[in-house]
Amino acid sequence: MRVAGVIRYTVLLLTLLGTWLMLQTYFQRSWRTISLRSWLGATKKPSSEKLPRYKCGNQKSCPQNYFAFKIISGAANVVGPSICFEDLVLMSNVKNNIGRGLNIALVNGTTGQLLKTDAFDMYSGDITKLQTFLQGIKRGTLVLVASYDDPATKMNDKVRAYFTELGSSDVATLGFRDNWVFLGAKGLMNKSPFEKHIKNDKETNKYDGWPELLEMEGCAPRKMD
């Protein structure tokens, strides 16, 4: 009984091995990716994984005295935005600190330390809450903004003026369901180079009712004085 069992298993094993070898040879090219070696994790990793990784997953590294950042707007009303600064995700779905409307992170422009984050509902929210928030920003603060779903229904001239003061150009024309990503600073004397805006436009929208998401990465100068 035991001997018969051993023989039966051996035959079964040999049959399986034989079949596998035949298939391997037959489909060698197309099956290369699922060869036994790769199943065992022995294959070499693709060389692309050896490329250096920069902060926030950006394509370039930042020089000294610059902060790496990446801001991604929401996609339609489905995928939330994210804000990364010096390789730290400050706001995201996973962090559970985002919301529909405008997502804003404040960072100390000298030390790079996170001061606070908040999300402001721009469709049905309390706009004075955003006014108070913007009014309280101190000189030398970096302001990172990502839109989600609708950034502008409740927008008013006072809030537009605050964002303009932070270096925004596009806030003037920001409308219902536009996408907007922006990095500015309090005390900035000119327009910020870090801004992207895409209008909600039936003709060009990627999603039904919303434009495609915006992604912006770069290096923001540290404020030194």
Contact set with ligand NAG (CB under 6 A): 108, 110-111, 115, 138, 140-141
Which CB atom, from 186 or from 197, has the smaller least distance to ligand NAG? 186
Which CB atom, from 111 or from 128, has the smaller least distance to ligand NAG? 111
**Residue closest to ligand NAG (Cβ):** 108
Q: Rounded to the nearest whole angstrom, what is the least distance from the CB of residue 137 to ligand NAG in the complex?
A: 8
Q: How many CA atoms lie within 13 A of 53 on its CB side?
A: 7
Q: Rounded to the nearest whole angstrom, what is the least distance from the CB of residue 138 to ligand NAG in the complex?
A: 4
Which CB atom, from 73 or from 141, has the smaller least distance to ligand NAG? 141
**H helix intervals, the chain:** 2-26, 28-31, 36-39, 127-135, 157-165
Instruction: Give the Cα separation of 72 and 178 in Å (integer).
Output: 13
Instruction: Give the Cα separation of 205 and 81 in Å (integer).
Output: 18
With residue 90 as reference, give the H or E element that holds it.
strand 88-91
Q: Rounded to the nearest whole angstrom, what is the least distance from the CB of residue 114 to ligand NAG in the complex?
A: 10
Q: Rounded to the nearest whole angstrom, what is the least distance from the CB of residue 222 to ligand NAG in the complex?
A: 11
Q: Rounded to the nearest whole angstrom, what is the least distance from the CB of residue 116 to ligand NAG in the complex?
A: 10
Which CB atom, from 53 or from 138, has the smaller least distance to ligand NAG? 138
Helix then strand count (H, E) for the chain reads 5, 9
Q: DSSP code of 57?
A: G
Q: DSSP code of 59?
A: S
Which CB atom, from 137 or from 214, has the smaller least distance to ligand NAG? 137
User: In one letter, which amino acid is 99?
Assistant: G
